[in-house]
Amino acid sequence: MGTFKISKDPAFAQKVTDIVGLYLAPPGDAVVLSVDEKTQVQALDRTQPVLPVAFAAAEKRTHDCVRHGTTHLFAALNVTTGEVLGECKPNRNGANVLAFLKKAVKPHAGKEVHVVLDNQILCVGGSRSPRLGLLDWLL
């Protein structure tokens, strides 16, 4: 069963309307980038090669693997074109997030750019303290 939490922000409905509006009807020549992250992605490798596919049978692979630690995937979707920029970083600190955002925005220099983020990307680890420098750059 899934759960959800209703916002107590009095301006929540207006904020949702604004963001959905960016997705459905981006303003003029503006670029809308939807940015998200997937943290702690396991970097796995199989201990043996995958067996070739036989006629009418699925490929077969061993169940065991070698772990190579974790990585953090950042992605930016250009809502208008569908183009995705992705990049893996060793951690999700403020410097890595800011570097990725700058890289995502750079090809659109001279254009109005809207970056849609969730609240989690602005926080260090599980805390609610904003990442230094990130809020200043966004605003």
- Chain segment 9-33, per-residue pLDDT in tens: 999 999 999 999 999 998 888 999 9
Inter-residue contact 131 to 98 (CB < 8 Å): yes
pTM, full prediction: 0.71
* Mean predicted confidence (pLDDT) in 30-48: 83
Answer whether residue 128 shows pLDDT above 60. no
Give the start-to-end residue ranges of the domains of the chain: 31-48+58-138
Within a 10 A sphere around the Cβ of 35, how many other Cβ atoms?
Answer: 19
More confidently predicted of 119 and 50: 50
What pLDDT is recorded for position 87? 94
Reference 35, options 79, 5, 72, 95; nearest CA is: 79
- CA–CA dist 59, 52 (Å, integer): 6
The answer to whether the Cα torsion of 87, 90, 94, 99 is positive or negative is negative
53: Cα separation from own chain's centroid: 33
Q: Quick check: helix, strand or coil at residue 105?
A: helix
Per-residue model confidence (pLDDT) at position 52: 76
What is the layout of strands, in order, in the sheet containing 113-116? 84-89, 65-78, 31-46, 113-116
